[in-house]
Amino acid sequence: MTGEKVVHCLITELAVFQFTEAGMELIELQNGVTLDEVKSKTEADFTISPSIEIKA
């Protein structure tokens, strides 16, 4: 565990998230992972960065 507001980035087998004042933000999908997969497997609420490239 870590102290409050010490972690700024979370890297998982599905995606990379950053923590902002607004909350958790998806900034990158891992290779072969879809946005729908991340949404279905992530319990936490998150926003999607406008700079993320979502492949159809």
Domain that residue 44 falls in: 9-48
Instruction: Say whether pLDDT at 44 is over 70.
Output: yes
Q: Is residue 24 part of a domain?
A: yes
| Mean pLDDT within 35-54 | 93
Q: Is residue 4 part of a domain?
A: no
Whole-prediction pTM value?
0.82
Q: Is residue 19 part of a domain?
A: yes
How many structural domains does the chain have? 1
pLDDT of residue 56: 58
> Strands of 9-11's sheet, edge to edge?
9-11, 15-20, 23-29, 47-48
Q: Convert the pLDDT of each residue in 1-35 to its tens digit.
A: 566 666 789 999 999 999 998 899 999 999 999 99
pLDDT of residue 53: 77
pLDDT of residue 52: 87
